[in-house]
């Protein structure tokens, strides 16, 4: 569900604005606060219907009046207005109406809202939004159940991981000690390479033509080749040193890996029913959201 969490402002490509307190009434509707617009009404206890208006919009007063009359009929939602010019909604889209659902942010948006459809519009949008809220609660409940069911297994895996780190530490210490001289040699190679290059890297950055840059690049490649060859040989030595140590570590880790596989198998079996429920509930929520986005009610159309 986190992939659906987007800010109200982002959903309509606007910025957080300074607005009147929600308690302030203008033309029959409260004005949305900057905080509500900024977080997509995620702190609201109900779905929100917001109409964006402008003083120059001829249909906006009628839209506000029509939607204000719907508030008493639909206490299950909150209806607000917001200044379109302050949030970047173009005049050509006004009146612009958006529906925000806590947990999903914007689920529906409509440009050029027709005030005559207000009754059917709010009835439809409120019904879908309430269903979405209920389904979000189902999904969240299942997430909590999955987290709770996972915890004992995750605790076991964490304990095994700690045991693994303790068991392989002697091998890691041997590896660090064996590789220390090679690391020192690598640092020496790097230092000598930088000295050999001199100002060539800066010259390349300051090259004025492609021809000049290509010439400098060729010089750089020629100078670094012997150092690259040294580094390749050094890496080969490191690989040989690490080969028996890796085999030793693998032997130490084998019984732990078997324990991890057993715990994961038990976890998968225990969570399988819950995961199936979660996938079903998430699909139902996605279907509701898709229906709201892609299949507007007939009353929403002029």
pTM: 0.68
DSSP letter at 46 equals S
Does 17 score more than 90 pLDDT? no
Q: Which residues make beta-bridge pairs with 108?
A: 99
pLDDT in tens, 278-290: 999 999 999 888 8
> How far apart (Å, rounded) are the C-alpha atoms in residues 291 and 107?
10
11: enclosing H helix or E strand: helix 8-11
CATH 3.60.20.10 matches 2-113: no
**Across 251-258, average pLDDT:** 96
Asked if 51 and 117 touch (Cβ cutoff 8 Å), the reply is no
pLDDT in tens, 116-172: 999 999 999 999 999 999 999 999 999 999 999 999 999 999 999 999 999 999 999
Asked if 80 and 36 touch (Cβ cutoff 8 Å), the reply is yes
**Across 105-126, average pLDDT:** 92
**Across 105-125, average pLDDT:** 92
Asked if 284 and 135 touch (Cβ cutoff 8 Å), the reply is yes
What would the DSSP string read from start to end of 265-290? HHHHHHHHHHHHHHHHHHHHHHHHHH
Phi, psi of 95 (to 5 degrees): -65, 140
CATH 3.40.30.10 range(s) for the chain read 2-113
Mean residue pLDDT of the chain comes to: 87
> How far apart (Å, rounded) are the C-alpha atoms in residues 89 and 54?
10
């Amino acid at each position: 569900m986190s992939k659906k969490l987007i800010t109200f402002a982002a959903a309509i490509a606007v910025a957080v604005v300074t607005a009147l307190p929600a308690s302030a009434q203008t033309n029959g509707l409260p004005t949305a606060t900057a905080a509500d617009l900024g977080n997509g009404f995620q702190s609201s206890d109900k779905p929100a219907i917001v109409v964006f208006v402008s003083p120059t919009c001829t249909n906006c007063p009628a839209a506000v009046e029509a939607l204000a009359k719907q508030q008493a009929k639909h206490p299950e939602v909150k209806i607000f207005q917001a200044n379109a010019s302050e949030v970047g909604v173009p005049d050509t889209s006004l009146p612009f109406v958006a529906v925000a659902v806590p947990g999903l942010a914007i689920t529906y948006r409509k440009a050029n809202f027709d005030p005559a459809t207000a009754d059917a519009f709010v009835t439809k949008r409120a019904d879908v939004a309430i269903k979405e809220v209920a389904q979000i609660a189902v999904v969240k409940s299942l997430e909590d159940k999955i987290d709770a069911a996972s915890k004992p297994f995750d605790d076991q895996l964490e304990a095994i991981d700690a045991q693994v780190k303790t068991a392989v530490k002697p091998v890691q210490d041997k590896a660090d000690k064996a590789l220390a001289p090679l690391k020192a040699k690598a640092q020496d190679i790097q230092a000598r390479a930088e000295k050999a290059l001199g100002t060539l890297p800066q010259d390349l950055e300051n090259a004025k033509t492609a021809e000049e840059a290509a010439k400098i690049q060729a010089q750089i490649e020629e100078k670094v080749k012997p150092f690259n060859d040294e580094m390749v040989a050094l890496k080969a030595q490191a690989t040989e040193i690490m080969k028996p140590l890796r085999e030793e570590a693998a032997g130490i880790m084998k019984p732990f890996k078997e324990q991890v596989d057993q715990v994961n198998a038990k976890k998968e079996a225990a969570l399988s029913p819950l995961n199936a429920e979660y996938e079903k509930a998430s699909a139902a929520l996605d279907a509701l959201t898709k229906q709201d986005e892609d299949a507007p009610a007939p009353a929403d159309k002029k």
